[in-house]
Amino acid sequence: MEFAKPQKFTARVSEKYYLSDSENFLFISFELVLPDRIEFLAGQYVSLKINEQGERRSYSIASSPDDNHGFHLVAEMVPEGSGSQYLKEIKLGEVVEVLAPLGRFAVSDGPEKLLFVATGSGIVPIYSMINDLLINQHESRQMRLHWGMRSEADIFWFDNFERLTQNYPNFVFDPVLSRPGEEWSLCSGHVQDCLKRDFPSTSSGLEGWEGYVCGNPTMVEDLVKLLGEMGIAADNIYHEKFV
């Protein structure tokens, strides 16, 4: 797998809005200025310069590689976070400095079935991966997504994933809420609980699968251990940790 060498870009903010009722997740679209094309793999990220002192914050790319005139980001709004405050205040038309593409979190071309597990904004690189695989690459391997969020107010892209399940029979979407309302009928608890529900054999339930995990560091460490216990070989587990 070849990774493009990172380079500096300037990009202009073309769109921004909140994705969820809770306003915890902000979508920002950027149009490239110079250079005006970017090559990246689904799952990679960019580094934004957020002040004149040169401080930077990293955000995974939400768009897929076929959209090479720019990129989309989704930022989780962290109270008092420097990156969150910068993106919250940034204006349409404003130009930013970007270093990209970065990271080596990308899908292999092996024969294994693909299991994606994310919590919170850890869904962003996985969203890019799944859209690229199904829509652009016409992937036929079996694919499954477990995505953990806190409550209904935090959910976004639900309709997008539901549409993918309808159009691509090889894709299954399992949303998980840790604090659901009374009317929530799908899986509740943590993503680990729902994995154990769907793959009850702890020794061989996930043999023949690759795991792609993204979320907070504690969740990633727990999931990597669990997936190993459930039959995925260590070198078939790929992960990205969000702090």
Per-residue model confidence as pLDDT tens digits over 49-80: 999 999 999 999 999 999 999 999 999 999 88
Report pTM.
Answer: 0.94
74-83, 185-194, 196-205, 227-236: least confident range: 196-205
CA–CA gap between residue 22 and residue 184 (Å, rounded): 17
Condensed to tens digits (0 to 9), the pLDDT of residues 70-108 reads: 999 999 999 889 999 999 999 999 999 999 999 999 999
Answer yes or no: is pLDDT of 231 > 80: yes
User: What sign has the CA pseudo-torsion 50, 54, 58, 62?
Assistant: positive
d(CA 117, CA 123): 8
| List of domains in the chain | 7-102 (2.40.30.10), 113-241 (3.40.50.80)
Res 201 pLDDT > 80: no
Task: Report pLDDT digits (tens) over 165-175.
Answer: 999 999 999 99
* Residue 183 confidence (pLDDT): 87
For CA atoms 160, 163, 167, 170, the dihedral sign is positive
The number of beta carbons lying within 10 Å of the beta carbon of residue 5 is: 7
- DSSP letters spanning 177-203: ESS--TT--SEES-HHHHHHHHS--TT
Q: Which of 9-13, 143-147, 237-241 has the lowest mean pLDDT?
A: 237-241
Q: Which two tokens stand for residue 138?
A: 């016409």
